[in-house]
Amino acid sequence: MKVNILSGALGAEVSDFNLNSVTQENFEKLNALLLEHKVVFFRDQNISSKELMFLGSLFGPVEEHAYVRGLDDFPQITRIIKAADEKNQWGEGWHSDVSYDVTPCKTIILRSIKIPPIGGDTVFSNMELAWETLDEDIKKIIVDKNALHTSNGSNFFVDDFSEMESNGKIGEKYSNEHPIVRTHPETGKKILYVNPTYTKKIMGLSKKESDNLLERIFRHQEKLDLSCRFKWTENAVAILDNRCTQHYAIADFYPGRGLGHERVMDRIAIVGDQPY
């Protein structure tokens, strides 16, 4: 197994490691790599849906998506299709997946099936480092506060993505409060746990105070020196720690730019715990 670190902030690409034949010993090594690098990547993985599900189960129970129907044979696998004639892409905007849930997923595994020849990269950001480098005046205000995370799935998940099917819950609104500074349950490290897609308000502050402070935090989280960028190839797999990272799927291959390519990914998520 060879490990190539992608940036000083997070991310590592692993070679000479087959994800379809993971043993318990190899999983412990894999999980240690994930905890260290936050997101790990593997190319040229000939992994079936059944094997993908088994890999996910090593991290914990695999969950079904709150809004989107999964594959018929594997309902926990969400097939994310950005059609050639669509401008938008599922996953645009900085976010931590389903942070509006009571127990947001702990781990996300993405498998590439069809990748555009140009563009379609994903950027990941380290929210432990974001907390460490945050201005001290902001830290003092938010350290013991909660924030409200909200999603209304009908807009974000379906309207712009005609190839994706809902599971009947479209239009339902999920809202939960979480600590702005959460603790990683495996490492004990502190994490800046808000994101511009789902976090709507800091509890205990006026709307104006909350909006202004969140804007400062979001601008800090977007700094490039907190991030790494991955260029997808077909049959690549990314495993990310959803508790301490954010990610952004770049939609730079849409028709308006003279490209218009299809992009197909499979996604599974592992049940997490309630942030504290």
Q: What is the CATH number of the domain that holds 20?
A: 3.60.130.10
Tell me if 169 is assigned to some domain.
yes
Tell me if 100 is assigned to some domain.
yes
Tell me if 142 is assigned to some domain.
yes
Tell me if 219 is assigned to some domain.
yes
pTM for this predicted structure: 0.92
CB atoms within 10 A of CB 148: 17
Tell me if 275 is assigned to some domain.
no
What local confidence, expressed as pLDDT, does residue 78 receive? Answer: 94
Tell me if 224 is assigned to some domain.
yes
CB of 19 closer than 8 Å to CB of 235: no
What domain count does the chain have? 1
What local confidence, expressed as pLDDT, does residue 1 receive? Answer: 87
CB of 29 closer than 8 Å to CB of 22: no
Tell me if 276 is assigned to some domain.
no
Structural domain that includes position 256: 2-270
What local confidence, expressed as pLDDT, does residue 41 receive? Answer: 98
What local confidence, expressed as pLDDT, does residue 170 receive? Answer: 46
Positions of the chain with pLDDT under 70: 152-173
What local confidence, expressed as pLDDT, does residue 163 receive? Answer: 45
Tell me if 231 is assigned to some domain.
yes
Dump pLDDT digits (tens) for 54-64: 999 999 999 99
